[in-house]
Amino acid sequence: MNAATNNPITTSNEARIGVVLCECGHKIAPKVDLELLTQELKENTGATLVEIIPFPCLSPGLHEIRRLIAANQINRLVVAGCEPRIMLKKFEKELLDAGLDQGQIDVVNIRDYVASVNDGSPAALAAKGAKLVKSAVAGLEALVLTPKTKVEFNGPVMILGGGIATFAAAQELLRHEVDTIIAVQTEEIEDEIRMLHERYPGERESHDRLMKIMQEVDESPFIKRISVGELEKVLGRVGDYTVTFAAEGDHPPRIYQVGAIIAALDGEMQNQGSDFGHDGVKVLCHTEIEEQIWLHGAPTHRIVFWINDLETARPYAYLSAKTAWNIARHIKEHCVQAQVSILYNNKIKPPLSAAERVKARELKIDWIPYDGEIRPTVQMGYVTYNDPDDQIEREISWDQLVLSPKRYPGLEQIKVAEILGLHVKEGEFLKRNPQMVRPEQVGLDEKFMAGSARQPCDLRETLRQGHRAAQKAVEIAQLAKAGELYAPRMVCTVDRSKCIGCGLCREICDCGGIEPVEGLGGNIPRSVDPMVCTGGGTCAAACPYHALTLQNNSTAQREARVAALAQSLTENECMGFGCNWGGAAAADHAGIKGLKYSDRFYLLPAGCIGQLDPAVIGRAFMEGANGVLLIGCPPEECHHSYGLDHTWSRVLMIKKLLSLVGIDRQRISLAHTDLNNPGQYVKTVESFVSLMDKLGPIRRDDDMKARLKAVYDTLNNARVRWVLGASLRRPWETAYPTDQRNAIAYDVTLSDVLTEEFVRTEIVNFMRDQRKVFELKEIVQSLKEEKQQVLDCLKDLVGEGIITRIFKDRTPYYTLQ
Amino acid sequence: MSDIKEKTDGLVSLVIDGQPVQAKEDWTVLETARHHHIHIPTLCYHEAVQANGGCRLCVVEAKEGNWSKIVVSCLYPVKEGLQISTSTAKVNNVRRWILEMLLAECPASKEIRALAEAYGVNSTRFKIDRPTEQCLLCGLCVRVCEEVVGVRAISFGSRGVNKQVTTPYMVPNNACVACGSCVTVCPTGAMQARLNMVRGNVSERTGHGHAH
């Protein structure tokens, strides 16, 4: 990817921060003493300017902000007002031309976190607001501005997979004059049509239309037709893919550089098993009767279609009924003496329009419902079924019985999907729900895929999907051509100088944005496709080597934020993080509903609770926080799939470390709140605050400070992060690849590793602070750890060359190298 | 006119409740009034989305020369020489009518009742069809879903007296990302009550293999 920086956004990293305080009518101003708040911020932050504006979000206010930005060369802005969830986007949009892009503006909700929910003097509320605003200022000071990433679009669009949607997609692309390569199975249009019923039976009516599409594609100069071997691998990212097809016969492997990929994948059909009497001659499936019609013309005897999908526990009865109707109609239209009936479960409705009902009567095609509670039985020449009307068991005779096919996403299609980087489960169709995040968080909302391998569908739907996928490809191709295709601002980036290609991030990434790069010994995941990444950030929080950064929303920023807040907290105050989809949203709603709760709780919002690197929480304790509450979504409802569960593991680890330090484990807690239940949020906060009151403040002598520093350092330790990262999930989860087999054994291992690394960190920190030579005794006394543990760690550290051991009078002395 | 504009640098002068103010031409009366600490009640207005003048509660009296009329301030642009009064007897009378109708439209809403009481409206002469209704059909949720979130998971369904905020086919909508923005902007408790119908079971739509 080529990153370009031709935009007016200032990329200077020298922060000039403006703070705008909103009065919000009477909702903030009289309750919070904004004058006092202004004074405090002017005196105790590096903010370039602090201004009160009645409504910063309205045109007059925005006009004022633009003026202030221009006059003071402001390049970061904090608005202290209401919910960033709702208002941030407007500020970003309105202030873009003033030089502020996403990430450079922060909105602090002092209305719903302070003014509406706390009773207190205006001065007291101003003091609380000041702490929250100061921490936002600190966060923006730590922002490392990245230029806007322009996504280049190199090469044509490729349509692979061989599905029939290929032609619909190609037609859409050629109409927009986008160069396209299609990989097809046969060269001849007639052959495609002849074999179509294998995957789409009963579609004769559409053959003419399809033929026209194919001819248009065939004649277009924008479409290049290739016949290739098996798809081998796909590397690269949106706009710049390398597609390799396997060698075939004399042909060497073929490699194509393409800008976008559309996968046209058709599902396959299998015959019913013998329990329905299937023999392929008298009892057959839709595809087989179609083949028979192709070979011998329409049959002349008595044919019964039995829509038996519900009996095989498949939900595609409607689709099968439609297919059966199409085939039945074709038979009757071509052979009057044939007798055709369609037997259907009365739990479904015949998929006929009014005109089709008339047609059915005209052609004498019987639609016979049966009672779905009793399974019909096949005998030779008869099917018995229960009439739902009078509950009499009836028989219907047949010369040929046609059953619904079993639909499944073909093996080859699944293989292609896997190569394209989709997580595929055996036997499941490929369609996925859209990501549960806002559209602006993803560059591409869905993989470009069309066909019945996504989800069983008829030909018309497949062609529609082909058109739609192509429309998306056209859209990005045209944007790129105009030089306006940008990746979202808050996506992960990999620092390749730190990345070792371990692949942990890929395993825990939920959006599929981590992409493999060709490297020594094969492909290693060490790059991110910015058009796929949703900015969930749990991968960055897990990376053992801090090689992943969520740009414009980094761990460094969050650390700066918590540090600023934790330092300003008094002994009876505590803090927390709320995720935008759960805790923070519920807190917004508590403010809007005017619920009251403790003014000694400070909430910081986060995009996802999984974005929080454990080091951020370690930093909070180190800088003065006495308790940290993390409020995420309800269990199993994490919008980034696993952020919440990863946080559970991280919290568990921090609890273990707090015990090692000798602090109550409850000082770090994970909670869940549904955004629609502000009352629950208030209860959660009140309970945590009263727990903190019971525990009292952490006694912070020099010893404790050193230990909390060691906790922070341990949380940044690569080995600890590795052991944690390798098992970031709750023990009871089974959906995860290689689920945790022995939770207790893992827990013991994690504890051992933590203890060892914590003591090692303590030793190194201790020796670094006082540069001299120590005896074992001294170290043990100072650190108050077990002698054997310290000795073991020292031995290891000596072995690794971090500590030097010297002997004087046969007594070992230790010193840091 | 054009001379004055040039002199005042694109600003127009008007008077709101006796207070002379200056404004840029593309500002509305409501925005200008709020910027000068003059309160005008609103229900269907939210700073994050386009105004649509649906609830009419923000009416003010606009006087220009020797004529005056009642206008909705959230949409009415400022104009040179305009005289705005935000709470004359005429304006308050319109607001009382609106509130009385709202009391019949969404009788279960605490917020509407409180607002009506502030204007001295304690009962309604209109027929109450749905005593448990909280929604006043202001459309803020629909607009925020489209303009701020960008997914259009909810919309108005049916027409006339049956109009309601709902999802297509009245079933939980997969397009919904369950961000709760609609609940945040709802001026009553209506959206809080129907969020579950819109988002459905979130846990079924998250997790590995679901969102790829």
Q: What is the mean pLDDT of residues A287-293?
A: 91
Chain B residues inside the 8 Å CB shell of A433: 174, 205, 210-211
State the pLDDT at residue A281.
Answer: 87
pLDDT of residue A132: 97
For an interface test with A, the pick among B42, B134, B212 (most A C-beta atoms closer than 10 Å) comes out as B212
Instruction: Report the alpha-carbon distance of residue A182 to residue A188 in Å, rounded.
Output: 14
pLDDT at B158: 86
Max mean pLDDT among A251-260, A400-409, B84-93 falls in B84-93
Average pLDDT over residues A353-369: 93
Cα A570–chain centre separation: 38
**Which residues from chain A sit within 8 angstroms of residue B207, using beta carbons?**
636, 641-642, 735
Residue given tokens 């390569």 in the structure block = A181
pLDDT grade for A546, boundaries at 50, 70 and 90: very high
The predicted model scores a pTM of 0.85
The whole-angstrom separation of Cα A488 and Cα A490 is 6
Contact A89 B48 (CB under 8 A): yes
- Chain B residues with at least one Cβ partner in A under 8 Å: 23-24, 26-28, 31-32, 34-37, 39, 46-48, 144, 148-151, 174-175, 177-181, 183-185, 192, 195-196, 202-203, 205-212
With H, G, I as helix, E, B as strand and everything else as coil, classify residue A263. Answer: strand
By CB neighbour count within 10 A (0-12 exposed, 13-18 middle, 19+ buried), where does A227 fall? middle
Q: Is the pLDDT at A171 greater than 50, yes or no?
A: yes
Q: Between A777 and A425, whose confidence is greater? A: A777
Residue of A637, A644, A728, A739 for testing the chain B interface, max B β-carbons within 10 Å:
A637
Whole-number percent of chain A with pLDDT over 90? 58
- 3-class DSSP assignment, residue A236: strand
- pLDDT-derived band at A419, boundaries 50, 70, 90: confident
The larger pLDDT score, comparing residue A728 to residue A612, is at: A612
Residues of B within 8 A of A116 (CB-CB) are none
B154 exposure class (CB count in 10 Å sphere: 0-12, 13-18, 19+): buried
Of A58, A436, A447, the CB nearest to B178: A436
The Cβ-side half-sphere exposure at A609, using a 13 Å CA radius, reads 37
How far apart, in whole angstroms, are the C-alpha atoms of residue A265 and residue A161? 5
Using a CB-CB distance cutoff of 8 angstroms, which residues of chain A are in contact with residue B26? 59
User: In chain B, which residues have their Cβ closer than 8 Å to the Cβ of A435?
Assistant: 177, 211
Q: What average pLDDT does this structure show over A432-442?
A: 77
Beta bridge partners of A368: A343
| pLDDT for A190 | 81
Distance of CA B170 to the CA centre of its chain: 24
The answer on pLDDT for B3 being more than 60 is no
CB contacts of B27 in chain A (<8 Å) are: 59-60
Instruction: Write the CB contacts of A313 (distance below 8 Å, at least 6 apart in sequence).
Output: none
Q: What mean pLDDT comes out for the span A675-699?
A: 96
**If pLDDT is split at 50, 70 and 90, which confidence band does A522 have?**
low
In terms of Cα–Cα distance, which of A201, A162, A211 is closest to A458? Answer: A201
CA neighbours closer than 13 Å in the CB half-sphere of residue A771: 1
Contact criterion met (CB < 8 Å) for A638 and B206: yes
* Mean pLDDT calculated for residue range A353-367: 93
Tell me what pLDDT residue A521 has: 63
Q: What is the mean pLDDT of residues A768-793?
A: 89
Task: Report the pLDDT value the prediction gives residue A98, as an integer from 0 to 100.
Answer: 93
Q: Closest approach of chain A CAs to the CA of B14, in angstroms?
A: 14
Could you tell me how many residues make up chain B? 212
Q: How far is A754 from chain B (nearest CA, A)?
A: 29
Question: Mean pLDDT, to the nearest integer, of A435-452?
Answer: 75
Lowest-pLDDT range, A346-360, A429-443, A591-605?
A429-443
CA-based nearest distance B206→chain A, Å = 5
* More confident of the two residues A519 and A451: A451
Residues B186 and B48: their CA atoms lie apart, in Å, by 12
Cα separation, B163 vs B167, whole angstroms: 12
Confidence at residue A423, expressed as pLDDT on a 0 to 100 scale: 67
pLDDT interval class at A513 (50, 70, 90): confident
The residue behind tokens 């989709």 is A422
Instruction: Label residue A426 exposed, middle or buried (CB < 10 Å: 0-12, 13-18, 19+).
Output: exposed
**Rounded mean pLDDT, A536-562:** 93
- Total residue count of chain A as it appears in this document: 817
Q: Between B179, B195, B205, which is nearest A433 by CB?
A: B205
Residue A772, φ and ψ in degrees, nearest 5: -155, -170
Q: Rounded to an integer, what distance in angstroms lies between the CA atom of residue A162 and that of residue A413?
A: 9
Band (A277; pLDDT cuts 50, 70, 90): confident
Q: Using one digit for the tens of pLDDT, what is the confidence trace for B120-150?
A: 999 999 999 999 999 999 999 999 999 999 9
Asked if B208's CB is within 8 angstroms of A642's CB, the reply is yes
Instruction: Please tell me the predicted confidence (pLDDT) of residue A91.
Output: 96
Q: Determine the residue among B9, B27, B47, B147 to mutate to test chain A binding: the one whose Cβ has the most chain A Cβ atoms within 10 Å.
A: B47
* CB-CB contact of A674 with A680 (8 Å): yes
Alpha-carbon span B93 to B90, nearest angstrom: 5
- CB contacts, 8 Å: B149 with chain A: 438-439
Q: Is the pLDDT of residue A358 over 90?
A: yes
Which token pair is A249? 């016969």
How many beta carbons lie within 10 A of that of residue A265, not counting itself? 29
Decide if A634 and B203 are in contact by the 8 Å CB cutoff.
yes
pLDDT over 70, % of chain B: 93
A363-377, A503-517, A696-710, B198-212: least confident range: B198-212
DSSP string covering B105-146: HSTT-HHHHHHHHHTT----SS--S-TT-------HHHHHII
pLDDT given at position A726: 80
Residue predicted with more confidence, A153 or A133 = A133
Q: How many CA atoms lie within 13 A of A277 on its CB side?
A: 17
pLDDT of residue B107: 95
Q: What is the pLDDT of residues A77-95, one digit of tens each?
A: 999 999 999 999 999 999 9
Is pLDDT above 60 for A736?
no
CB A274 within 8 Å of CB A292: no
The radius of gyration computed from the CA coordinates of chain B, to the nearest angstrom, equals 20
Q: What is the pLDDT of residue A10?
A: 46
Phi, psi (degrees; rounded to nearest 5) at A168? -65, -45
Average pLDDT value for chain A = 89
- Which is more confidently placed, A250 or A694? A694
HSE of A760, CA atoms in CB hemisphere, 13 A = 23
Give chain B's count of helices (H) and strands (E).
7, 7
Of B28 and A12, the one with more pLDDT: B28
Q: Average pLDDT of A221-235?
A: 86
Residue A56 has pLDDT above 90, yes or no: yes
A565–chain B nearest CA distance, Å: 26
Q: Is the Cβ pair B212, A585 closer than 8 Å?
A: no
| Cα angle, residue B166 at apex, residues B161 and B172 outer, rounded to 5° | 155
Residue A574 in contact with residue A625, Cβ under 8 Å? yes
Q: How far is CA A774 from CA A108, A203, A807, in A?
A: 49, 86, 11
Query: Residues A104-129, buried b or exposed e (16+ Cβ, 10 A)?
Result: bbbbbbbbbbbbbbbeeebebbbbbb
- For B179, the closest of A434, A438, A635 (CB atoms) is A438
Structure ipTM over 0.85, yes or no:
yes
Calpha distance A572→A627 (Å, rounded): 10
Query: What burial class does residue A680 get, using C-beta atoms within 10 Å of its C-beta: 0-12 exposed, 13-18 middle, 19+ buried?
Result: middle
Please answer whether residues A153 and A487 qualify as being in contact, where contact means their C-beta atoms are separated by less than 8 angstroms.
no
**Residue carrying structure tokens 């709101």:** B16
Contact B64, B83 (CB under 8 A): yes
Question: What is the pLDDT confidence band of residue A680, given thresholds at 50, 70 and 90?
Answer: very high
Which among B39, B150, B208 has CB closest to A439?
A: B150
**Pairing mode of beta strands A406-408, A268-270:** antiparallel
DSSP 3-state of A376: coil
Contact A642 B151 (CB under 8 A): no
Condensed to tens digits (0 to 9), the pLDDT of residues B150-205 reads 999 999 988 888 899 999 888 898 889 999 999 999 999 999 999 999 999 888 88
The size of the A-B interface in CB pairs under 8 A is: 142
The pLDDT confidence band at residue B208, using thresholds 50, 70 and 90, is low
> ∠ at Cα A726 (A721, A729), nearest 5°?
105
Residues A545, A546, A550: CA angle, nearest 5 degrees: 150
Amino acid at A369: P
Q: Taking CB atoms and an 8 Å cutoff, what residues of chain B touch A642?
A: 207-208
